[in-house]
Amino acid sequence: MKDNRHAKIIELIHKNDVETQEELAELLNQDGFKVTQATISRDIRMLKLTKVTGDNGKQKYIQQKGNEQNINEKYMRVLKDGYVSMDMAQNILVIKTVSGMAMAVAAAIDAMNWHEVVGCIAGDDTIMCAIRSVEDTVNVMDKVRKIV
pLDDT tens per residue, range 85-114: 999 999 999 999 999 999 999 989 988 888
In angstroms, the Cα distances linking 40 to 16, 18, 24, 58, 108 are: 16, 12, 8, 20, 21
pLDDT score of 70 more than 70: no
CA distance 30 to 28: 5
Q: Which of 43, 63, 83 is the last residue of a domain?
A: 63
Q: Give me the CATH number covering residue 39.
A: 1.10.10.10
Percentage with pLDDT > 70 across the chain: 95
Same domain, yes or no: 59 and 75: no
Same domain, yes or no: 83 and 45: no
CA distance 126 to 95: 6
Give the domain range for residue 80.
Answer: 68-147
Q: Give me the CATH number covering residue 115.
A: 3.30.1360.40
Mean pLDDT, all residues of the chain? 89
Same domain, yes or no: 76 and 132: yes
Which pLDDT tens digit goes with each residue over 1-44?
788 899 899 989 988 899 999 999 999 999 999 999 889 999 99
Q: Are 59 and 53 in contact (CB under 8 A)?
A: yes
CA distance 147 to 133: 21
As for how many domains the chain has, the answer is 2
